[in-house]
Amino acid sequence: MDLLKTLVIFSTIVFAQATDDGMCVAKEKCTEPVDESSEASRYTAEDNVYFYKIDTALDEYVPCNDTGCSCHTGVLKKDLKPFKADGITKEMIERAKQYGTHYQVIDHKLYRQTECMFPARCSGIEHFVKPLLPKLPDMDLIINCRDWPQVHRHWNKEKTPVFSFSKTDEYLDIMYPAWAFWEGGPAISLYPTGLGRWDQHRESISQAAERVPWKNKKPMAFFRGSRTSDERDALVLLSREQPSLVDAQYTKNQAWKSPQDTLNAEPASEVSLEDHCRYRFLFNFRGVAASFRFKHLFLCRSLVFHVGDEWLEFYYPSLKPWVHYVPVPVRSSQAKLEALIRFFRDHDDEANAIAERGFRQVWQHLRMKDVKCYWKKLLHEYGKLIRYSVERDRKLIEV
């Protein structure tokens, strides 16, 4: 009897061990044991979402070729499409005058209304237009030098040709390369005459990137800028809670009066674009409209986190989310921002690969010659749409 009990107990133990080891038992459906080291099981569900977005974007991505400024010409075709059927009439120009600075090209000379709201911006625009004059037909141009676009698709029922440097899909303005590629960009203490000379910044920032290669960059997120909107607050607050993960601080702007304007903290010092290259992750937020700093960040060969997809400049569509930069929804919570930053800090190869693709896209396809090329194609295509004889406006001055 004791021997029988012993055999029963021994059989029970063996049975339990076999079950725990993944072996099949009677009346059970046999399955393959789970390999805990498999690719899918190594990551969290949230990680796999990010991997899927990166892989999908890469599968769908078609690189543009290097013929002229072909990466960007689809934008001007889209912007000019509303005028293709009927062209641009004198009546349209008269309607448009209220929205910008009036220019004329007459007999290969450039004329402008006497007053320009932002002289440095007009100068930056004229720098690109003047070399094109020998081959331009006569035309009227209404160029908006303000930050905000003017021709809303729902408020402006009649076609109105106005050139603006930035817009959202809600606007029908014709985008042109901003004056800040040459001069007239935002003025801060580090750039007292305004951000400009893209050709020089390309060289100085890319050289700074060479001095701080990826492996030597601080593995943290970085942002410096004024509190243009509270959309930036979550990142700044996350920085205060987790300073080893994020360094994001507000600087003064012209409207600063007290620490309340910098989210109840003393304003931080400004940081040069070259010094941004010391950090592995760089955040870009819109300003009043599109951000002038966006293109500069890629030159650091750091990973760019671009917040929001509403505002555009002419070159934005050539940069693809998850291929060239990390898209961040507007007003993401601190928790979402932290998760996104930590994902790329934990997956260094993916972060570095996106950063390198972003750098190459801007370095190879947003050269100063690409900017000039875009101006040339834009004005030539626009000139073909003029449907009236352009007469010299004697109130305009030659520039």
Own/partner contacts of 146-155, CB < 8 Å, gap of 24 or more, are 146/100, 146/117, 146/118, 147/287, 147/288, 147/289, 148/288, 148/289, 149/173, 149/289, 150/99, 150/100, 151/99
Catalytic residue check, 147: yes
Q: Which residues 6+ apart lie within 8 Å of 272 measured at CB?
A: 190
Structure tokens at 255: 């409207």
**Catalytic choice (47, 138, 147, 275):** 147
Tokens representing 264 are 């109840």
- Cα 374 to Cα 147, 157, 216, 317, 326: the distances in Å are 20, 28, 36, 14, 26
HSE (side-chain half, CA atoms, 13 Å) at 167: 23
CB 164 within 8 A of CB 171: yes
CA distances from 182 to 103, 126, 371 (A): 19, 10, 10
Give me the residues paired with residue 174 across strands. Answer: 163
- Tell me the catalytic residues: 147
